[in-house]
Structure 1
């Protein structure tokens, strides 16, 4: 088995990273998971949270994602994020914008609750809570943003 696998993280704006890694930790919608070389092939839906990449030398780098999905095979992981930022680039202003988007999606789900079903509202509330937890985890204030009603 190889010691590393290829990891690519792409958001709609740009490619964030493309490097050989020995481990990727990601926030799956069904729970957090760690991918290492030789992992069984799978598709993973992501929730908002931190993706941690460990390179061949054991150095780790974190990326904040707002969701998306990852395709895993035994030689690579391709992560397509709805929105992603290197942890070092994540400012309070960027986080506030991400959180405003989550609030808008939650309000839209509540307004469509009758036609979309209660599980749609529950999923939007969970996504909003995950976004708030992401900010708290990295030391940003989820209460600072100004959310229009």
Structure 2
């Protein structure tokens, strides 16, 4: 078995998750990407959603990101996003309410950067919370 990947998920305000991973699955703007040991170097733009982390012991973690970047080089995977939270920190009800609120604001014509950002974050939270179920 190949050596595990070293993964670090960083948001604007903290390191959200750091440790070893056997597999990392993320949604990029061009589609899903799966990262295993030996993966070629890559830099990609992330789409809002839940990043799935499979640890060497088989445990699974889900991290919500509202976009950002994923970088892979020499067994190191870095995920950098303005917003990132562990799925266990998110409730489906709260994420659904936040998404409905942001959608309502967009429908009412509040098409500014802050409202779009709130929509992307709520979308990411809901995706991660549902994946973690």
- Scaled to the shorter chain, the TM-score interval is 0.7 to 0.9
| Cα deviation code 1:13-47 (max 9, x no counterpart) | 11011101110000111001100111000101001
Instruction: Choose which of 107, 121, 126 in structure 2 pairs with 1:135.
Output: 126
1:1-149 alignment, distance < 5 Å: 2-91=2-91, 92-93=93-94, 96-97=97-98, 107-108=111-112, 132=123, 135=126, 138-139=129-130
For normalisation by structure 1, the TM-score amounts to: 0.67
Give the number of the structure with larger relative contact order, counting CA–CA contacts within 8 Å between residues 6 or more apart: 2
- SS in structure 1 at match of 2:43: strand
Is this contact kept in 2: 1:69–1:80, CA < 8 A? Answer: yes
Q: Which runs of 5+ in 2 are unaligned?
A: none
- Tell me: CA distance 1:16–1:72, structure 2 relative to 1, closer, same or farther (3 Å): same
| Shift, 1:2, TM fit | 2.9
- SS in structure 1 at match of 2:111: helix
Q: Matched residues in 1 for 2:11 and 2:124: separation?
A: 21
| Shift, 1:98, TM fit | 7.1
Q: Which runs of 5+ in 1 are unaligned?
A: 110-123, 140-149
Instruction: Please give the root-mean-square deviation of Cα atoms over the aligned residues, in Å.
Output: 3.2
Is this contact kept in 2: 1:63–1:86, CA < 8 A? Answer: yes
| Shift, 1:108, TM fit | 2.6
Is this contact kept in 1: 2:65–2:85, CA < 8 A? Answer: yes
Aligned residues: 122
